[in-house]
Amino acid sequence: MAENRSLLQVLNGKTVTPPPLWLMRQAGRYLPEYRETRRTAGSFLDLCYSPDHAVEVTLQPIRRYGFDAAILFSDILVIPDALGRNVRFEEGEGPRLDPLASEEIGKLDGSGMLDHLAPVFETVRRLRRALPAETTLLGFCGAPWTIATYMIAGRGTPDQAPARLFAYREPVAFAKLLDLIADLSADYLVAQLEAGADAVQIFDSWAGVLGEDEFAAYATGPVRRIVQSVRSRRPDAKIIAFAKGAGLQLKGYRQATGADAIGLDWTVPLSFAAELQKDGPIQGNLDPLRVVAGGTALTEGIDRILDRLGNGPLIFNLGHGITPQADPDVVGRLVERVRSFGR
């Protein structure tokens, strides 16, 4: 039945009208049913590692909106958690880790990672059985640069200066860290694909703080390493690469990484997006705040994207994750608007 999954058709280069639709963070705090499940699950990582709860919250937006894709409910920081970096999530403050020192990099041991993440793969297996046949199941991981920024600083920072300084001062150690994360991430994605994921996305949420040379070394190179490793074992793997804030550096990013599609944040001009679309599928890129605003701001934003990009291979999505302030009814109107395109 995979050939009937519209998102996979787009990843194969086809134009589908209306375009397939899903939203980053579509299973999240804006949904009352998610908040209810979250209250019963314990910690955030408990939610991620409980197949019962993770399956439930992944399916919630599919039941409510019928999105064309479900994305595994988990977190990009399960990789450092599997490396024993004491990952925890503090209410209102985001993730916290024990900051990583240079001398600790050589001691990181990922040999038990797949065992540690076995509950995630069980979630994927259950999801593929539970989802409608026409719904694409997406797995994901964080990109090495983004994961490294959290591991080094122990938290997110406005410009990820701790990781950038570390990379300049300790280039050999930093390269070793990126390689390790890339190799573990590739293993993680392959295991998700083997468990039933149809395609995967690599999130480089902090790519936008990098200069040209650094983007090539810390963002493009490690993602290429992941893609090549995954394809060596799964030649037919479909991969979306999302480098948030990369701007003009997205020119050539698809070719340099080997990704099938590239995700675009809301700052990417539609004229530039149309140029990128000439080389293959793109995903994006509605400003999440238009969903919060609703009304004319929402419909105009949707229509501009569809008018400029809807006649080529497009996966409609937000330019970043949906925010907790979004009204579920407004999300429903977004779905209706996209689904009406071309009809």
Distance CA 213, CA 303 (A): 36
- Tell me if residue 164 is catalytic: no
Number of independent structural domains in the chain: 1
Residue with token string 């400003």: 287
Contacts 24+ apart (CB under 8 A), 108-115: 108/83, 108/177, 108/180, 109/83, 109/84, 110/82, 110/83, 110/180, 110/183, 110/184, 112/82, 113/79, 113/82, 113/83, 113/184, 113/187, 113/188, 114/187, 114/188, 114/191
- Tell me if residue 308 is catalytic: no
Please name the helix (run of DSSP H) or strand (run of DSSP E) that holds residue 6, with its range, or none.
helix 6-11
Distance CA 125, CA 61 (A): 18
- Tell me if residue 188 is catalytic: no
Residue range 77-133, pLDDT digits in tens: 999 999 999 999 877 778 999 999 999 999 999 999 999 999 999 999 999 999 999
- Of 30, 34, 68, 75, which one is the catalytic site residue? 75
- Of 25, 224, 254, 337, which one is the catalytic site residue? 25
- Of 30, 150, 188, 218, which one is the catalytic site residue? 150
Residue range 263-300, pLDDT digits in tens: 999 999 999 999 999 999 999 999 999 999 999 999 99
Domain of 188, CATH number, reads 3.20.20.210
- Tell me if residue 25 is catalytic: yes
The pTM of this model reads 0.97
Domain hosting residue 116, numbered range: 2-339
In this prediction, residue 92 carries a pLDDT of 72
Q: For residue 273, how many other CB atoms are within 10 A of its CB?
A: 21
- Tell me if residue 38 is catalytic: yes
- Of 38, 164, 254, 337, which one is the catalytic site residue? 38
Q: Could you tell me which residues come within 8 angstroms of residue 146 by beta carbon, excluding any fewer than 6 positions away?
A: 76, 203, 204, 205, 206, 207
User: Is the Cα torsion angle 218, 90, 319, 52 positive or negative in sign?
Assistant: positive
Arithmetic mean of pLDDT over the chain? 97
